[in-house]
Amino acid sequence: MNLFHRDKHPPDEAEQLRAKNAELEAQVQQLQEDLEFYRKQNERIVHDASPAISENAVLRYELYKCQSDRKILEFHISGARAEARAALNLLGQLAPAHVPQGQILLEAVLFLIHEVRGLGLDSGSLPPLEKEAQEAWTQTQGAPWHFSPERWLALRVGGVLRAIELEREHSVRAADRPADGLGAFDAALGRCGDLLRQWLETLAHTDSAAGESNPTA
């Protein structure tokens, strides 16, 4: 046994601290590099996603517009249906007589003959047409056709109101958005339709009041 042998001294404490510090610095450096990498990755993702985000915003706006247009259209349709029902009820009060669907065109011919004669435009060629139409009417209805102002009014007013509403619907369908179609519809024509319905209501009320004041008529 060597009495002069000595164990190696343990590493210097300062050296241990320096080694630990170097290790920590390396870890920090790696973390900083990772952080920079993720930052660049995030920037790239944001840049790549920017068009999609913008498109999403546009789609959300378009969805909002479609929902608004739908509400406007539903409100318009609801109002138009109510007005149509009211107009049909008034026309029914003014002209309760029912004509079979197959005789409506024949009736229109007879109305036309009556109007032409009333305007003084008969050049002598109407009698053959009138005779043919009257015979066809009598054959199906069992009696000759007679002019009814109420029936004539019902057909004319109903036809005009129906044509105005069809034009409004065409304007709505032709537009990209229903609201744009309603805005593009001829405002003067729309006002004429409203005034025509108001006149029809006044006429119906006047006719009803006249019937109440003269129940034996």
- pTM of the predicted model over 0.75: no
- Give the CA diameter of the chain: 158
- Residues 145 and 110 sit within 8 Å (Cβ to Cβ): yes
User: Over the stretch 34-88, which tens digit does the pLDDT of each residue have?
Assistant: 888 888 888 888 777 778 777 777 777 777 777 777 777 667 666 766 766 666 6
pLDDT, position 145: 93
Tokens of 43: 């920037």
Task: Tell me how far apart the alpha carbons of residues 110 and 137 are, in angstroms, rounded to a whole number.
Answer: 9
Least reliable range by pLDDT among 52-66, 87-101, 122-136, 159-173: 87-101
Provide the residue ranges of all domains of the chain, joining segments of one domain with +.
Answer: 72-213
Closest CA to 196 of 151, 170, 165, 171: 165
